[in-house]
Structure formats: structure tokens, C-alpha cells
Amino acid sequence: MAIVQYKPNEKDQPIIDDISTRITRSLDEWYGKGSSLDSRIPEIRSYRNCFLLRYPVSTFQGEKKTVLVKIRRNPKMESLSLAINAAIHSNIPTEYSSLEFVFSSLASAQENLGVIRPFDYIEKYHAIVMEEFPSRTLRDILISQRGSKNGTGMSELRDAALKTGRWLHYFHHHVHTPSQTQYSTNDILNEVQGYGIQLETASHGRINARSLFDAFSRKLANVQIDSMVFSQSHADMTCDNVLYSDDKKVCIIDIKTRLAPIYSDLGLILIHPETFKSQIFSGGTYLSESLLKKYRAAIIAGYFEDQPEDELLVKLYSAIKVLDKWTMYEELMSKYKGFKYLLSFPVGPFVTSYFQNVLKKYLDSINTSEARQAFRVAKPTDQSVSLE
């Protein structure tokens, strides 16, 4: 996550003082009697979607810890006071409850499954108080391996990806209880149709919803699906929400918790690197396909371990999640104004073509014998998009 500079604001000081006082009063409970803040003035980091207030702590045992306070913001909110008073916090209590639930389920679980320790939810400020998990994101690890062939770095990526798969499997099958739920190809196609309509609307007709629907229909024509394994899903299973610590533990953050097929989370984490902006605007060359194959293989190996993998559903939901991210980008561009609106004219068809090619790759992999007849790949200069 990119950090932008926080600009001190006099309206924020009473908020900071109050939060500092609350934390000071609770330190004995959290870390033992005699624990103290190293400073009542936190380091404040401004990320795109949140402020993080960092409080270094000395525990009664002499250990060094860091308490984090997370307050949601959007990129236009430069102060804590603006963020706190905005109508953007409706799901924060649920996020904190998920932290508590996962911590209680995982704190004593397998040694390689990391977990965030939650401390408090300050309703007045919509603020989550938790212990810092010193780490790097899976995105950072992937990017650091762009030019690597093998060696320590690549081993680290494989380890992080493998443990990400294991963490996700444990979340679906042990933290929550999965169930076989009635679900058919029609339900899947209805989901595809929903994305297609959104894409056609956002692109002002440049993308053909019917063509997308037909492409999936052909792939599922001879497939019978009567049920699907559902569980509580993470619902935002991206590389940015996977943390890998120095002691080689994986922890997943920003859990939304929503009932969904287990393949929904799995599909998203598998394809997410291909939806990085740097990957899109390099035409898919920023991260090499060989690197991405190793990454995906490690995720799948970690998730399924000795259990049989349903290859069709893994590939199918990878394709569906490509649609999901494609929709996000098209809708974002459709809302541009001013200079960005003018920029969307040359950029839009390029983004469309990129996602069409990624979607083609995943759909083709479902049944390679039908690969050639499924698509016509549009060039960036095309004014309309068809998958016929």
C-alpha cells in the first residue's frame, strides 16, 4: 500500500490526545502491569483507504511492540476529523468482530498461520485498535521477484503463496463450517450475466454483454453442476490483504465475511496479480507468465494439499473474478471527469483489450479443445468488443 504524507491538523489533536489516553489506560490489561507508551505522539501513516496511528510500546517484560489504530478514510480526506465524520464506516464494527473471531479461532492453531491481535473498537472514532503484525504484503513479495529465476527470493514467494493457500483453506473449513449448497450452471451464468450488463453499461456499449454470456455458456454446455461448497468467504482476497512476516507466517487482513462458494476467494487470489495497474499498462509483461504460474501453483498446492482439486471450478472462478476486476476498472473509468475523462478515450479500449485477453486465457484453459472457436480478440483500437 502506498503511503502519502499526513498533514497535521489542529482539529485532529484532541482526537489524537483522547486515543492516546485510552490506549495508555489499557496497556496493563493488554501487555501486563508496568507496560507503557514510548510516546503519546503517534506516527501517523496515510494510506489510500485508511489512517494508521502507530504507538510504540515497551511491555512489562521489556519487549518492544506496536499498537495500531486504524481509521478508514478516502483519498480526499486529509484529516482524521474529516474521516471520522464521513459516512464510510458502516462495516467497521463487522470488520472488528471478524478480527476477534479469527483471532480466537487461529491464535492457538498451526504455527505457520499468523493472526492479528485485536485490542479494542473505539466506537466514537470508528477506530480499530490492534497489535501490529510486522510484515510485507504478498504484492510486495511478488514485485520483488520480477527478475528472479530461482534462489532465496523465489523460495520466499513460494512459501508465502503456499501458506496463503493453507490459511484460506483453514479459514473456509475450520474457522467456518462449509456446506454443500444447491447451485447450478444457471446460477453461475446469472452471475456472469450480471457482470456483463455492468460492463456493457460502463463501457457505453463497447463491451457486448451477450458475447460474454455466450462465451461462458459454451464452456459450461456439457458440464453438470448441481451443488457447490459454500462457506463464509473473505470477500476481498487480494495480494494486498495477505501479510508475510519475518518469521515466515502468513496473516490475512480486512476480512469482510460473506457467504459464497469457496472458489470465489480462491479465484480472486489466483488472478489478482494480473489486475495490478502495472501489469495492465505493461500489456501483461510487468510480471512474467512463468512467475505467475509458479505463484498460482503454490496457492493451489497450499489450499488443496492432499485433497483432490476441482480444476474446472478453480479455472471457472478465476475467469469470473477476471470479470469482477474488469468491471471495477470499467466502472471507475466511466466516472472520470476533466482530464481523466479525456484520458479514458485512449485508455479505455486498451484496458478492455487487456482484460479480454486475460479472460480468454482462463476460459480457454477450461477446455483447450474448444479454445480457438471461443473468442475473437479485439485490438486496442477496436470501437466494439466481441468475444465471438
Domains and CATH numbers, the chain: 3-132 (3.30.200.20), 137-374 (3.90.1200.10)
- Are the C-beta atoms of residues 37 and 55 closer than 8 Å to each other? yes
Alpha-carbon gap, residue 135 to 252, rounded angstroms: 11
Alpha-carbon gap, residue 252 to 167, rounded angstroms: 8
Distances (CA, A) of 147 to 135, 279, 285, 289, 304: 22, 14, 11, 12, 28
All 3 cell numbers of residue 162? Answer: 503456499
**Which stretches within the chain are classed as H helix?**
13-31, 80-84, 92-106, 138-144, 152-170, 185-202, 209-220, 262-271, 277-281, 289-304, 311-334, 338-366, 371-374
The three-state secondary structure class of 151 is coil
User: What single-letter DSSP state applies at residue 239?
Assistant: G
- Are the C-beta atoms of residues 67 and 132 closer than 8 Å to each other? yes
pLDDT at 379: 35
| Residue 307, phi then psi, degrees to nearest 5 | -85, 155
Alpha-carbon gap, residue 299 to 303, rounded angstroms: 6
Alpha-carbon gap, residue 103 to 113, rounded angstroms: 11
Name residues of the chain where pLDDT drops below 70.
1-3, 109-111, 149-153, 367-388
pLDDT at 380: 35
Alpha-carbon gap, residue 251 to 114, rounded angstroms: 4
Crossing angle (nearest 10°) for helices 185-202 and 311-334 = 20
The radius of gyration of the chain's CA atoms, rounded to the nearest angstrom, is 23
pLDDT at 146: 87
Amino acid of residue 261: P
Amino acid of residue 68: L
Alpha-carbon gap, residue 215 to 361, rounded angstroms: 12
Within 10 angstroms of residue 307's Cβ, the number of other Cβ atoms is: 9
Alpha-carbon gap, residue 231 to 238, rounded angstroms: 18
- Are the C-beta atoms of residues 32 and 60 closer than 8 Å to each other? yes
DSSP letters for 276-290: SHHHHHTTS-SS-HH
135: Cβ contacts below 8 Å, ≥ 6 apart: 114, 243, 244, 245, 246, 251
State the burial class of residue 348 (Cβ atoms within 10 Å of its Cβ: 0-12, 13-18, 19+). buried
State the burial class of residue 314 (Cβ atoms within 10 Å of its Cβ: 0-12, 13-18, 19+). buried
Amino acid of residue 111: E
pLDDT at 76: 86
Alpha-carbon gap, residue 244 to 282, rounded angstroms: 26
All 3 cell numbers of residue 316? Answer: 471457472
Distances (CA, A) of 45 to 24, 51, 52, 66, 360: 20, 6, 5, 14, 40
Report the candidate in 89, 124, 129 with the shortest Cα–Cα distance to residue 15: 124
- Determine if the pTM surpasses 0.75: yes
Residue appearing with cell numbers 498460482 = 296
pLDDT at 107: 75
User: What single-letter DSSP state applies at residue 59?
Assistant: -
Crossing angle (nearest 10°) for helices 289-304 and 152-170 = 40
Query: Which residues are bridge partners to 230 per DSSP?
Result: 179, 261
